[in-house]
Structure 1
Amino acid sequence: MEKLYTKEEIIAKAREIAGMIANTEQVEFFKRAEAQINENQKIRENIASLKSLQKQAVNFQQYGKEKALKIIEEKIDKIQNEIDDVPIVQEFKQSQFEVNDLLQLVSNTIANSVTDEIIKSTGGDIRRGETGSYVKNTTYNKM
């Protein structure tokens, strides 16, 4: 008989995988890029301006000040573009994408593997994605 795992054992293994992911090249690059961004005075000033303008935009929107809102949104776009034009910011965003992609890949792999294991353990058909009980109880198999 196969070993049955507890929720605690599975969470412990998930933490182990999380530790592995946290020690990948993608995450290391992400951390270095973030540190460089935080050390860059110009980027920090632009981010502070952006946050301030975003608060103003919310206020203008709440009070229906459309013209003022449009001006603020243009300023926000300009500063956002200045931030995005900095190479380290582009690299940071790329590394963020890669880390998220890795997390999604791990998540999908786990989900698909669990489904396949359930299908196999019930004597089902993996190609059709059907568990053994479904296969045994459907009419197409009884023809």
Structure 2
Amino acid sequence: MYTKDDILDQARKLGKMMSETEEVEFFKRAEAQIHENQTVREKMASLKSLQKQAVNFQNYGKDKALAMVEEKIKNIEKELDEMPIVSEFKEAQVEVNELLQMVSHSISHTVTNEIIESTGGNQLTGETGAAVNNAPNTSSCSH
């Protein structure tokens, strides 16, 4: 029988392993390049400022000003998206997220299957032993 502390210890080890994968290394390099790039930093600062303005305009019902700011935001986002350094960063984010999702799904799937198996359930139907053993008996006929 394992304790929560045992499991958390293993989770930390798994997290450390994951942080040393190609996907995470690629992400770290891409993030560093983003932060080192003056153009990206300036565009991000402008974007942040415009987003704050947009919130204010929205709160005060300044629809015309809001539309103008939203257009500027859209243009800056488009400019950023067209920069190879930004697309590499976004690709790296997706890859790390996919790795995390894959591990999470694998853990969830394993726990579910272990519960089903240990209770004498049916993996094909996804029912635990309690569900299988307490299901109404439909095979007997009463005349």
Following TM superposition, by how much is the alpha carbon of 1:142 offset from its aligned partner in structure 2, in angstroms?
5.6
C-alpha separation in 1, matches of 2:56 and 2:128: 55
- Which residue number corresponds to residue 110 of structure 2? 113
User: Alignment partner of 1:114: what SS?
Assistant: helix
C-alpha separation in 2, matches of 1:30 and 1:55: 28
- Which residue number corresponds to residue 138 of structure 1? 135
Report the TM-score, using the length of structure 1 for normalisation.
Answer: 0.94
- Is there any run of 5+ residues in structure 2 with no aligned partner, and where? none
RMSD of aligned C-alpha atoms?
A: 1.1
Following TM superposition, by how much is the alpha carbon of 1:140 offset from its aligned partner in structure 2, in angstroms?
3.9
C-alpha separation in 2, matches of 1:141 and 1:10: 41
C-alpha separation in 2, matches of 1:117 and 1:131: 10
Cα deviation digits, residues 70-109 of structure 1 (max 9, x gap): 0000001111111111101101101101111110111111
- Which residue number corresponds to residue 73 of structure 2? 76
Matches within 5 A, 1:1-143: 4-140=1-137, 143=140
- Is there any run of 5+ residues in structure 1 with no aligned partner, and where? none
Cα deviation digits, residues 97-135 of structure 1 (max 9, x gap): 111111011111111110100110011111111111211
Q: Stretches of 4+ moved more than 3 A in 1?
A: 140-143
C-alpha separation in 1, matches of 2:128 and 2:53: 56
Cα deviation digits, residues 2-55 of structure 1 (max 9, x gap): xx0000000000111111111110110000001011111011000011111111
Residues 135 and 141, structure 1, Cα contact 8 Å, conserved in 2: no
Report the TM-score, using the length of structure 2 for normalisation.
Answer: 0.94
- Identical-pair percentage: 59
C-alpha separation in 2, matches of 1:134 and 1:65: 58
